[in-house]
Structure 1
């Protein structure tokens, strides 16, 4: 199973996290902080959520970011599937399978955690794409 990690952060609280993709919203959209009635609320409060989502361009940005994630996840039957299987072996603590991917030592660290991992290879059985 592929996992997408989403981290929101404020630049005033520290540097941006290391990420494959980062979207800086500071200059494109009006800051709800400028409205006194929203200043001490958070994104989990309905008035902030409604204000932000009603801002021109925000909904389109959500759609664009989702499309970007789709592009990253669009894999075939080689790299993404191999990495997914290796990661599944690691996270499930399956050291025997992980050994085939040369990550048994890493899988051993997860063995006691008892994580259930579900991997889905969407395109593994599709025809080879000729380029």
Structure 2
């Protein structure tokens, strides 16, 4: 490989994951990491959506209508395009994480993949098929 050759693999990888499925609850290595746990309502709290995933329209609608999510997606799109237009642009990795990787992170990563389709991203969902995480009940 010469210095002008591009490395093999996708120029953009978008990964959804669940922090509770990661060793030490550490995010995968990425240039941009979106931690969706604390700032955005979790569809998991609705018993009707708990067993669903980001593949289900009810979850997609709930996540994309959450205040702040559309703005976060727009800001991430702008950041991704800025990274990819840099003079030494190389592969870019974006990671979106929530507690279990089944709802918020899946929907956000999928939306980014669709909106950045011109960059032919590899969209990877690490934990969407893992068991539902049992969250502790709030203390009263």
| CA–CA separation in structure 2 for the residues paired with 1:13 and 1:34 | 18
Aligned to 2:86: 75
| CA–CA separation in structure 2 for the residues paired with 1:49 and 1:3 | 26
Q: Higher RCO, 1 or 2 (CA under 8 Å, sep at least 6)? A: 2
| TM, length-normalised to structure 1 | 0.57
More helix, by proportion? 1
Matched residues, number? 80
- The aligned runs of 1:86-101 (5 Å cut-off) are none
- The aligned runs of 1:1-131 (5 Å cut-off) are 3-14=11-22, 15-76=26-87, 79-80=88-89
Deviation of 1:28 after TM superposition, in Å, equals: 0.6
| TM, length-normalised to structure 2 | 0.53
Aligned to 2:133: none
List runs of 5+ in structure 2 lacking aligned partners: 1-5, 92-140
| CA–CA separation in structure 2 for the residues paired with 1:30 and 1:8 | 17
The structure with more radius of gyration: 1
Secondary structure (helix, strand or coil) at the match of 2:36 reads: coil
List runs of 5+ in structure 1 lacking aligned partners: 85-131
